């Protein structure tokens, strides 16, 4: 059941109506039933996968909390122990907790890896050895990466004693399967989402209408803009036909398509939550206004970035072998090299994992490592930039900041081309053609009209993207536009909502020649 | 405390670490800085700061960070 299907719209209307009709204490059980219904509609088999994840997280988190409780009780009852005895006792408990955590991680990351990467391994094996092993028919449950990461994060938080355990199986089941975020995130933390997920909510006109407005805004970006851009991006990146300046067109069009597609889906998810009084974390903070790639990755897919930082980057960076490596490097290679070793290595692992997480193909591995390389180079050049900024005093000047923003958009868009072309060599060849076969006339001689989009489509796209830009600039300068509209007479707010609905229905890219497509991030 | 201040100062000479109370929240210290600090704490104090202790409240000020080192030394 895609967010963009009529079935989902009907399902959502029924769920929202029922949510406010049932007594408050029945709201979260209703959401659990709705979430399982949503998942069952995709495939009954998927339920088996999500149940295994939920049950293992439930059992292991209980065990971890019990072991922590046992430790607290023992140490409280044995205050006379020496420091060494206490240390030995804690180490014993930690070892047992670690074994449970490891079992849970192996099971869940194992399921994720086998279902998503078996055929990638077979393809790579065939390519390396010249063998012809056939692909395996695997079930890849919808949103498995998202719910696995979210659930594993919860278990690690319990292991770290940072999160009280949830002893109600059904509440944990709802956290794992909450339908708006099941397919493409955001990746919530238990401590944050649970604050509003299980509490009763009375109907509140403002929260409900804000939620609906955000849902409509998400649909507008998805079906009017992203799906309209899709044929052009597909045509441009289908093979090596469109080189040179066309690659620049592909970079920019895909940048907008992906932005509208992914932020549209997240707006729908967060908007559904808002309409029910449930707060989910934001996943974007105007990423295309970033002045460098590091900042961009703090503002794009935020919940994935913070997840990787907290659960992979830090544990890898500060584990004892890494600390010993850092010490050794400082002693033998000097302070300058030594202090970089752990950061570079841990970042490499994070970006390699990020690449693999995005897709079971070498394109994504190279995409991840290209991001890593650019970030590391930027890190190394930081002192040089600093000297440059002190010398020329450009910082804060609008034209220079605009240059930084454009440069960052072009850079991330160029790296993202690995996501579009069929393989790595073709991507490199096409990026090279930007410099060797660039003919700017394609932007003015009507060539772009032959990409599956006619003049009317380009007009809708131009106006639609202007609206998205205007809303973004408003947010950047003055804050949320919904709040501003809500402060005006009701006719303005509801008029804007109606206009958004009409534009989405009238200009949505469906009907002849179009199919409402899956969200790009569904496949991750 | 002086040794810790020396570690922090070497990363950001322009920051007065005795006065700042929100080093992480104000984004003075970023993830790469935090990893460098943990590595140097291991080298200077012989204390391994585990990943579960990398939370803003432990790194927001030099005082909080020093208290963390002392607690880990005691445990």
Check residue A486 and give its pLDDT: 92
Q: Where are the domains of chain B?
A: 2-74
DSSP strand E in A41-82: where?
Answer: none
- Interchain CB contacts (distance < 8 Å): A and B: 55
**Which pairs with CB-CB distance under 8 Å and at least 24 residues apart come from A515-519?**
A516/A2, A516/A4, A516/A5, A516/A223, A516/A227, A517/A4, A517/A227, A517/A230, A518/A2, A519/A2, A519/A3, A519/A4, A519/A183, A519/A184, A519/A222, A519/A261, A519/A262, A519/A264, A519/A265
Min Cα separation B62/chain A (Å): 19
Q: Work out the number of other CB atoms within 10 angstroms of the CB of residue A366.
A: 17
Check residue A466 and give its pLDDT: 96
Tens digits of per-residue pLDDT, B10-33? Answer: 888 888 898 888 999 988 998 889
Structure tokens at B3: 């040794």
Tens digits of per-residue pLDDT, A122-148? Answer: 888 888 888 888 888 888 888 899 999
**Partner A contacted by B7 (CB < 8 A):** no
Taking an 8 Å cut-off on Cβ atoms, the answer to whether B51 and A320 are in contact is no
- Look up the pTM and report it: 0.90
> Closest chain B residue to A88 measured between Cα atoms?
B75
Phi, psi angles (nearest 5°) of residue A357: -60, -35
CATH of region B2-74 = 1.10.1200.10
Check residue A522 and give its pLDDT: 59
Check residue A513 and give its pLDDT: 47
Residue ranges of chain A with pLDDT lower than 50? 511-513
Check residue A134 and give its pLDDT: 85
Check residue A394 and give its pLDDT: 82
Min Cα separation B57/chain A (Å): 13
Decide if A42 contacts A142 (C-beta within 8 A). Answer: yes
CA–CA separation, A253 vs A231, rounded Å?
10
Check residue A519 and give its pLDDT: 65
Check residue A510 and give its pLDDT: 62
B75 CB neighbours in chain A (<8 A) are 86-87, 90
Check residue A512 and give its pLDDT: 44
Check residue A452 and give its pLDDT: 79
What interface predicted TM-score (ipTM) does this complex get?
Answer: 0.93
């Amino acid at each position: 059941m895609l967010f963009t299907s009529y079935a989902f719209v009907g399902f959502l209307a029924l769920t929202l109506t029922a949510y406010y009709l049932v007594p408050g204490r029945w709201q979260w059980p209703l959401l659990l039933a709705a979430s399982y219904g949503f998942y069952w509609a995709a495939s009954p088999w998927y339920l088996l996968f999500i149940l295994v994840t939920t049950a293992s997280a439930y059992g292991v988190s209980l065990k971890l909390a019990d072991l922590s409780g046992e430790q607290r009780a023992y140490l409280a009852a044995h205050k006379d122990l020496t420091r060494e005895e206490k240390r030995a006792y804690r180490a014993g408990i930690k070892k047992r907790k670690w074994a449970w955590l490891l079992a849970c991680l192996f099971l869940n990351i194992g399921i994720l890896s086998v279902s998503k990467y078996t055929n990638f391994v077979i393809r790579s094996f065939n390519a390396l050895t010249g063998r012809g092993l056939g692909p395996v028919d695997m079930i890849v449950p919808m949103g498995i990466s998202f719910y696995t990461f979210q659930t594993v994060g919860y278990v690690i938080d319990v292991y770290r004693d940072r999160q009280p355990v949830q002893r109600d199986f059904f509440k944990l089941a709802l956290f794992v399967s909450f339908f708006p975020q099941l397919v493409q995130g955001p990746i919530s933390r238990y401590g944050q989402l649970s604050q509003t997920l299980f509490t009763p909510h009375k109907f509140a006109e403002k929260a409900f209408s804000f939620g609906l407005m955000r849902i409509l805004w998400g649909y507008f970006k998805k079906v009017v803009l992203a799906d309209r851009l899709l044929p052009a991006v597909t045509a441009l990146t289908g093979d090596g036909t469109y080189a040179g300046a066309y690659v620049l067109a592909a970079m920019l069009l895909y940048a907008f398509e992906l932005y509208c597609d992914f932020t549209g889906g997240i707006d729908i998810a967060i908007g559904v939550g808002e309409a029910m009084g449930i707060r989910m974390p934001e996943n974007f903070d105007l990423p295309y206004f970033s002045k460098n790639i590091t900042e961009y990755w703090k503002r794009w897919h935020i919940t994935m970035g913070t997840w990787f930082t907290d659960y992979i980057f830090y544990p890898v960076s500060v584990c004892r072998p890494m600390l010993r490596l850092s010490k050794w490097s400082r002693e033998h290679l000097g302070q300058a090299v030594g202090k970089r070793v752990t950061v570079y290595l841990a970042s490499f692992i994070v970006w390699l994992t990020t690449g693999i997480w995005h897709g079971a193909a070498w394109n994504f591995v190279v995409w991840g490592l290209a991001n890593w390389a650019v970030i590391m180079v930027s890190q190394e050049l930081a002192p040089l930039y600093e000297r440059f900024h002190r010398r020329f005093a450009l910082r804060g000047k609008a034209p220079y900041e605009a240059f930084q923003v454009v440069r960052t958009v072009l850079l991330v868009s160029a790296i993202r081309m690995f996501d579009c072309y069929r393989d790595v060599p073709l991507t490199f060849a096409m990026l090279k053609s930007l410099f060797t076969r660039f003919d700017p006339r394609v932007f003015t001689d009507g060539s772009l009209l032959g990409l599956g989009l006619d003049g009317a489509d380009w007009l809708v796209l131009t106006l639609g993207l202007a609206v998205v830009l205007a809303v973004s600039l408003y947010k950047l300068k003055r804050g949320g536009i919904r709040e501003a509209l809500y402060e005006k007479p009701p006719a303005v707010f509801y008029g804007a909502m109606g206009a958004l609905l009409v534009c989405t229905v009238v200009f949505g890219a469906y009907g002849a020649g179009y199919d409402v497509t899956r969200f790009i991030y569904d496949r991750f | 405390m002086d040794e810790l201040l020396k570690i922090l100062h070497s990363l950001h000479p322009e920051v007065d670490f005795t006065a700042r109370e929100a080093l992480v929240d104000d984004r003075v210290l970023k993830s790469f800085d935090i990893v460098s600090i943990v590595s140097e704490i291991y080298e200077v104090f012989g204390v391994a700061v585990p990943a579960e202790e990398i939370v803003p409240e432990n790194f927001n000020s030099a005082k909080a960070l020093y208290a963390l080192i002392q607690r880990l030394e005691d445990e």
